[in-house]
Structure 1
């Protein structure tokens, strides 16, 4: 069954739910989100009873916001504990510590950051909410002199986002300080089936402008990326599966490749794929894989078939966020038509309410090898050329 919540549910996910008649838990949020679509509704009481009766029941959430419902209604099941193990980055580091004995991490409270003496820490390091989402309040600290300014930025960012996301999504108190992992960053969607066997649904390269960049502007998938990293990812998933019993359980995971074929996890997001229906929808627009159906039906991608005709293509998810000095109140609208013309083959344009969510939208696109310039340009763009001012 599916547990829907805000901030966003794509039309593709809604259509998938209706076409497959996947049971949807009839929360007030889900009813409003699905509008008049003919969903296969199941009452909250009945859903809770079924999950308690059958712990292996498939349950998918589109949003971190759903964690609060699970904690409230399923506190006597194993789900809240598993979610907390993954969502709390400090606890997750403890879970896998023996596999990465040289990796430094420590917990800290927001109220203690200003008075902390970080001079003895190994630089650079990363500080971020122990429970976090969407790169909110994530910072790389290069030297001790930067600490006061970064703490000020964290305090300001947490203040701005505290009303957007619940405590279960972004913690405004506890932070984790951990080693800066050198290497390229990747994200992937996967799930564990009823037998506890993992399946990879997609792997994307998270491209940054520089080492100091922590934004989410560009994620790119390709045949080469998936084939090269799948063995290391499967080894890591088997490690996690030995530590915690995961069955019929979806995950969105971020990693860094520290050396060829060697990866270290950054964070694990339970019960869902990429936020805002991004990475799961991307697999459909690019590879013809409906990740939601694959999870509920325990299907595995036939990658040889999927990659046929796509060997020399790159598929990207582009976050259209305002990184310019133009204040939101000065922008009349974002010109998506102009944006689409700057790409070889835009597959899907997703518009969202900038005033409400803080981003203009997302672009799913196909790029031929040799034409990566379009991806590099959008990565470094402040997007001013697409803003129409008032």
Structure 2
């Protein structure tokens, strides 16, 4: 069953739902986003009855906005409790602290942040909204100067959002240890027996040690084979504690130089937000993560990557780091952007006046030619922006 909500659903996901006749809940928001009447629409009343009678049947949401529907209809259910543990970063840390007893964290109200002195802190650390999305309000603090600068920026005026409170809530923040190591994003699900099935592993590349942007995520056969077994074992530990079955998720972790895996966060009931990472797999690589989840299938990576062994597939997130406010922007030159990549697979524009992004790009790169990825990683995108006169 699909729970669809704003802000975005891709044509690829709509086609997947249609071709496989997957049931989709006829909420007001879903009907506004998807106008195709031929889909397998089911009423909200029937959806509620179905879920009550089939508590561990597969449910997928394209957007965390839709999680409020589950909260409203199943607030005391095991599913709702599982979701809430993942969505609240403090609750998640509390849940896994037996696995990571030395990891330090604390919850703090937004209005109390200005009163914290450097003497009360242990550097380096990360501060971010307890309920967050898209790296909004995330700061890596290495020293006292970083902290003073961050406090100037962390205020309600700078943290206004188009997202509802169950997706991004800046009322509370979490201060936690900074995790050293390489960062990875994982699309996966717990199957009908509860075991983890990994559907993608993406290396989240940063331009510096203090970079918190979501600009570049890359996957390849090499990346998947290098980390798959350890990540399966790690995610199974967390899933077993929560009795997760037929449960899709998107995890972000760091792996240090000794191979230790420490979670950053786990996003429930979806893969990468805005139909990104699962669409990358389907459109660029050629296997459909949505179908694998609903059909309880395991990927055969040798078959999937046959003839693509030397290819790197990347998701480029076009966040507006130009320093130019959106109401001064007339247009974004997506064609020029595509021309700067050797093999662009898909350019997906968004309206910068509605969303905090210019859009997304899927690219295929030979592993020997990664310069274009590092170029876009450090770009302020100004060369593609056309200003209003």
Tell me the TM-score normalised to structure 1 length. Answer: 0.97
- Residue of structure 2 in register with 1:387 after alignment: 385
Which stretch has the larger CA shift, 96-105 or 174-183? 96-105
**Which residue of 288, 297, 310 corresponds with 2:286?**
288
Distance 1:331 1:242 in 2: 48
Shift of residue 109, structure 1, vs aligned partner: 1.0
- Residue of structure 2 in register with 1:30 after alignment: 30
Distance 1:321 1:125 in 2: 24
Which stretch has the larger CA shift, 365-374 or 328-337? 328-337
In 2, are the aligned partners of 1:332 and 1:389 still within 8 Å (CA)?
yes
- Residue of structure 1 in register with 2:170 after alignment: 172
Give the match's secondary structure for 1:371. coil
Q: Deviations over 1:210-231 (max 9, x none)?
A: 0111000000001111111111
- Residue of structure 2 in register with 1:4 after alignment: 4
Is 1:52 the counterpart of 2:64 in the alignment?
A: no
How has the CA–CA distance of structure 1 residues 26 and 239 changed in structure 2, closer, same or farther, with 3 Å as cutoff?
A: same
How has the CA–CA distance of structure 1 residues 157 and 133 changed in structure 2, closer, same or farther, with 3 Å as cutoff?
A: farther
Gap regions ≥5 residues in structure 2? none
Q: Deviations over 1:155-192 (max 9, x none)?
A: 1565421xx11111111211111000111111010001
Paired residues for 1:310-325 under 5 Å: 310-325=308-323
Distance 1:311 1:139 in 2: 36
Shift of residue 42, structure 1, vs aligned partner: 0.7
Give the match's secondary structure for 2:238. helix
Give the match's secondary structure for 1:259. coil
- Residue of structure 2 in register with 1:329 after alignment: 327
Paired residues for 1:334-345 under 5 Å: 334-345=332-343
- Residue of structure 2 in register with 1:15 after alignment: 15
Distance 1:147 1:159 in 2: 17
How has the CA–CA distance of structure 1 residues 241 and 328 changed in structure 2, closer, same or farther, with 3 Å as cutoff?
A: closer
- Residue of structure 2 in register with 1:72 after alignment: 72
Give the match's secondary structure for 1:362. strand
In 2, are the aligned partners of 1:52 and 1:77 still within 8 Å (CA)?
no
Gap regions ≥5 residues in structure 1? none
- Residue of structure 2 in register with 1:88 after alignment: 88
In 2, are the aligned partners of 1:158 and 1:172 still within 8 Å (CA)?
no
Root mean square deviation of aligned Cα: 1.2
Q: Deviations over 1:40-82 (max 9, x none)?
A: 1111011001101110121100101011111001124211110
**Which residue of 205, 211, 234 corresponds with 2:209?**
211
- Residue of structure 2 in register with 1:235 after alignment: 233
Runs of 4+ in 1 over 6 A off after TM superposition: none
Paired residues for 1:130-209 under 5 Å: 130-156=130-156, 159-161=159-161, 164-209=162-207
- Residue of structure 1 in register with 2:41 after alignment: 41
In 2, are the aligned partners of 1:106 and 1:178 still within 8 Å (CA)?
yes
In 1, are the aligned partners of 2:194 and 2:240 still within 8 Å (CA)?
no
Shift of residue 9, structure 1, vs aligned partner: 0.4
Shift of residue 114, structure 1, vs aligned partner: 0.8
Tell me the TM-score normalised to structure 2 length. Answer: 0.97
